Structure 1
């Protein structure tokens, strides 16, 4: 069996350093947060056996708007809409400044 050799890459810095250097840290972070929220909402819908139509009706919105909420790449979703979606699946939405 061949022994693996690892190079010292500590001089490259962290992922945050890389993202800051490229000026995309905030954008990447926001996209990651939206992806996680969309995934959590989809899972909660599945756990509650909610269809897209039923979820949209309970949110008093269209299926097209709900699809934007559930689309990890759709960034133009209001906090109010996310909060309504969370409420329908029995969850809450927490937003904080760090």
Structure 2
């Protein structure tokens, strides 16, 4: 039986060796934000059009944010959405 080259390594190191670590991290961050915004809208019975107007963006931009498979959303929209649900989006560089 052939020994796995990834045995004992971290999942991050596996993703990095596959060349997809950054992409996977970005999608995960967006999915968390989308889930939080979606939950806020549901719990508070806020319609998407009303929320989009409240955060000064378009309904289509909000739809892109809420679509976990769509990576094309701007940082500005993410910040607005976080503020719209009473939270702060923090971005940091870490080593």
- Provide the TM-score with structure 1 as the length reference: 0.79
Per-residue CA deviations over 1:9-36 (Å, capped at 9, x if unaligned) read 8x61221221111111111111111111
Between 1:70-79 and 1:24-33, the stretch displaced more is 70-79
**Bigger relative contact order, structure 1 or 2 (CA pairs below 8 A, ≥6 apart):** 1
Question: Could you tell me which residue of structure 1 aligns to residue 92 of structure 2?
Answer: 96
RMSD: 1.6
Paired with 1:46 and 1:18, the residues of 2 have a C-alpha distance of: 36
Paired with 2:66 and 2:57, the residues of 1 have a C-alpha distance of: 13
Counterparts of residues 30-69 of structure 1 (less than 5 Å): 30-69=26-65
Aligned length: 89
Per-residue CA deviations over 1:69-89 (Å, capped at 9, x if unaligned) read 111122221221111112222
Give the conservation status (yes or no) of the 8 Å contact 2:33–2:82. Answer: no
- Which ranges in structure 1 are unaligned for 5 or more consecutive residues? 1-8
